[in-house]
Amino acid sequence: MIEESFKVEETDITHLHETKITDHDISNLNSSENSFDIQSSGTGMQSLLIIAILEAYIEHNIEDQNVILIIEEPEVYLHPSLQRKIINILKQISSSNQVFISTHSPIVVSQLKPNELVCIKKENGITKKLAADPVSIINELGIKPDDIFQHTKILFVEGQDDKKLIKSLIHKLVVNKRIDPELVDDLKIIDVGGIDTLSFYTNARILDVMNNAHNNHYKFWIMVDSDGNSKNEVKVKIEESLSEFTNIYNEKNLFILEEYAIESYFIDENILCHLFNNLDQVKTTEICQKYFELYHNGMSEKNMNKKAQFQNKYKPKNFFLRNESVFYEKSWGLNEDEIQTLHNIQRNWSTSNIDQYIESLPLDLLEKSRIKEIISHITSIFDQITVGLK
């Protein structure tokens, strides 16, 4: 029973900035029909606005800001794909800032590392901090493994773009009679959002149990990019993640790519000029060479304290996704003409079209580029599948 003397203090909330969004494509800017107040919009729309603001923050944040960002359930009312997107954005921000979120979403949690999680549960009216071990979190949130039971051969990759690229290259190799088309459906490709996420842990855990029960009947491979680390650093990290899974890990089936990310493999003058005939071959060659020169110089100079700064500066997304000119001037030391060349490439490029790019590129051109490394790994996997069938 609440005492009558108990009162709730009323507080007026004053917004320092207008919270309306205006559609500038509507000519009559004085009309009330061309704008809406975000405060009166649904939670889903507000979450989408958060994504847009955070993406803008990343795009314009050149130097470290050292801010603390706290968000309650950022995934609310968002489609699963957008949940993954907002977490990827927050992970980028957390590389140089502190980010705290609360969530009940298995999708969100599956994209994070176990050491990034704190599990809180209320029992008998008392809030307790539970052990944040993967098994407890999997059981608490009901994270499920991917649909892998009907496949005995699985390739784990880190993201949707990686999966799209590899599937496109497999199709290209089939068309060119380098891979037996009857073997393609034997391989299940699963993107887990990162090899150190709970999504990967869950799949690896179930595969390990199944292999133990079925005499190593299941076979799997891992293909990851370097993310600006040395191959040995990546290898050690993966082996630590798989240390308890003795029935599935095989060092020969671990493919660590030389380059930072899949976009790196398209920073090639011959590929870009073949895809986009409005580019200048000489200028494109110069800017591609300059990027890799900057990247490798940065790799040799970076240390653990500046790792996040190095990644923010030289990740290949900065080559293809447009930043302000001041970013390229200050961070990459580009002149006005070089920045213009880069912007011309960015106007043409779309990562979502990677599969179409692969389809349009001749195989001999791909095998003369850095992409030959990925092709080699793919053919190695199918060679192993072929041997296993004999």
pLDDT at 1: 44
Q: State pLDDT tens for residues 370-380.
A: 999 999 999 99
Mean pLDDT of 240-261: 82
**Cα–Cα distance for residue pair 36/20, rounded to 1 Å:** 5
Beta strands in the chain, from DSSP E residues, in sequence order: 20-22, 35-37, 68-72, 98-102, 119-123, 126-130, 153-157, 187-191, 219-224, 254-256
Q: State pLDDT tens for residues 273-287.
A: 999 999 999 999 999
Is 149's pLDDT higher than 60?
Answer: no
pLDDT at 310: 80
Mean pLDDT of 317-335: 91
pLDDT at 14: 53
Q: State pLDDT tens for residues 160-213.
A: 899 999 999 999 999 999 999 999 988 989 887 777 776 676 677 767 766 666
Return the sign of the alpha-carbon dihedral for residues 47, 49, 55, 60: negative
Mean pLDDT of 152-159: 87
Task: Tally Cβ neighbours within 10 Å of residue 346.
Answer: 15
Q: Would the pTM count as exceeding 0.75?
A: no
- Residue 183 exposed, middle or buried by CB count within 10 Å (0-12, 13-18, 19+): middle
